[in-house]
Amino acid sequence: MTYLQFHFVFLVPLLVIMSVLVARSGALTRRRAAGTAILVVVALIYSTPWDNYLVYRSVWSYGADRVIATIGYVPIEEYLFFILQTLLTALIYSYVARNTTFATVQARGLTLRLVGIIAFGVLTAVGVAFLYFDSTLYLGLITAWAAPILALQWGFGAEMFFKYGRIWVRTIIPLTIYLWFADATAIRLGIWDIADATTTGIELFGLPIEEALFFLVTTVFVGQGMLLFDGWKPHKTQ
């Protein structure tokens, strides 16, 4: 199976199904459509240098006969993955939240937001420390890359993530598990590979823990981003 065929087997059918469901339900509001477009652009911009560095450091590699071409160090199918995963997450979120009326969540709750910022700030520092050891290089690259974005999101919307926790869970958990299965299949088929030397060796359901973490945090990025677009409103002082 090639990388492009992987997309047509695992991502495109689900994307079509969700597109039909969202269209029939009228769940894709203008705000959600705008949020989706912005998140696709952000995903490409933020992920591209990071992913190129992974391949440059031989953390992640691909079968040369499984891809069409590369831009930089990364296959074009990988850039397509960024787009498809973001679209899929946004559509699932839109469908899950289709009947939700978002009450105004004012930008208060300073303690809750500070806890999130500090926690993810610490994780950023831990991720940077992991970069100095071969066996934690991939884990460090993910953590140092993801934690600052999570800190930013929690700084703006910690209250929302708790208030609409059911939407968060129903959007992120099922898709993350599905992507774990798809990723494990791709690795088993040799479409791409994760270097043993730069991972901890810890696995979750046969998948390197680093890969499991990657798909969790990237799905969280988009799910939380959509929540912020949908319901967060700044508090207006009198």
Would you list the domain boundaries of the chain?
3-231
For 13-42, what is the mean pLDDT?
96
24 exposure class (CB count in 10 Å sphere: 0-12, 13-18, 19+): exposed
In the prediction, which pLDDT does 236 show?
Answer: 43
What does the pLDDT average to over 208-230? 97
Higher pLDDT among residues 79 and 107, named by residue: 79
> What is the CA angle 157-220-165, rounded to 5?
55
108 band by pLDDT with thresholds 50, 70 and 90: low
Cβ-proximal residues to 207 (8 Å cutoff; 6+ apart), any chain: 180, 183, 184, 187
Q: What is the pLDDT of residue 125?
A: 98
Q: How far apart are CA 29 and CA 31, in angstroms?
A: 5
Residue 234 clears pLDDT 60, i.e. is over it: no
pLDDT on residue 222: 98
Q: Is the pTM of this model over 0.85?
A: yes
As a dihedral over the C-alpha atoms of residue 184, residue 185, residue 189, residue 191, rounded to 10 degrees, the angle is -70
Looking at the predicted structure, is the pLDDT value of residue 235 above 50?
Answer: no
- Is the pLDDT at 237 greater than 50? The verdict is no
With CA atoms as reference, report the closest residue to 94 among 177, 15, 9, 10: 15
3-state helix, strand, coil in the chain (%, to 5): 75, 5, 20
Kindly report the average pLDDT of the chain as a whole number: 94
Does the pLDDT value for residue 233 go beyond 70?
A: no
Q: How is residue 105 annotated by DSSP?
A: B
The string of pLDDT tens digits covering residues 54-93 is 999 999 999 999 999 999 999 999 999 999 999 999 999 9
Residue 151 has pLDDT above 60, yes or no: yes
Question: What pLDDT shows up at residue 232?
Answer: 66
d(CA 199, CA 178) in angstroms, rounded, equals 22
Q: Tokens for 170? A: 């129903």
- What's the pLDDT at 124? 98
